[in-house]
């Protein structure tokens, strides 16, 4: 089964030159895209994972491990549009408060090619 990484922020590589392509996507696109994929979550907070479980219709586990991108991997980034004052404010977050991006990690070929 193909794997997709789930993040709540953009992650760059510290160990190799890597290129990153991103594009904004809709919640409906994310639901369709992950439907038949193994989702590996790097969402650190339980409440955020629970919210994404509800929105995506697929179990999302909280995971505080550090993600190190690899060439060829694909990630979905679920990013809040606003900063929360306190963690419990996540209960008030609506679907429209989250933006999604599809990210692809590729071999770095330089800036001016």
Classify each residue of 89-101 as buried b or exposed e, where b means 16 or more C-beta atoms within 10 Å of its C-beta.
Answer: ebeebeeeebebb
pLDDT score, position 112: 56
- Across the chain, which has 113 residues, the per-10-residue mean pLDDT values are 91 76 96 96 88 93 92 92 67 79 88 59
pLDDT score, position 90: 64
Which CATH architecture fits 3-107?
A: 3-Layer(aba) Sandwich (3.40)
CB burial of residue 30 (10 Å; 0-12, 13-18, 19+): buried
């Amino acid at each position: 089964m193909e794997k997709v990484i789930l993040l709540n922020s953009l992650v760059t590589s510290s160990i190799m030159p890597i290129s990153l392509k991103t594009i904004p996507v809709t919640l409906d696109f994310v639901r369709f895209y992950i439907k038949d994929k193994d989702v590996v979550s790097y969402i650190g907070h339980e409440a955020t994972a629970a919210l994404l479980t509800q929105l995506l219709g697929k179990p999302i586990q909280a995971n505080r491990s550090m993600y190190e991108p690899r060439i060829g991997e694909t990630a979905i980034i679920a990013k809040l549009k606003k900063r929360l004052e306190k963690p419990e404010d996540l209960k008030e977050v609506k679907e429209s408060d989250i933006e999604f991006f599809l990210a692809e990690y590729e071999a770095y070929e330089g800036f001016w090619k």
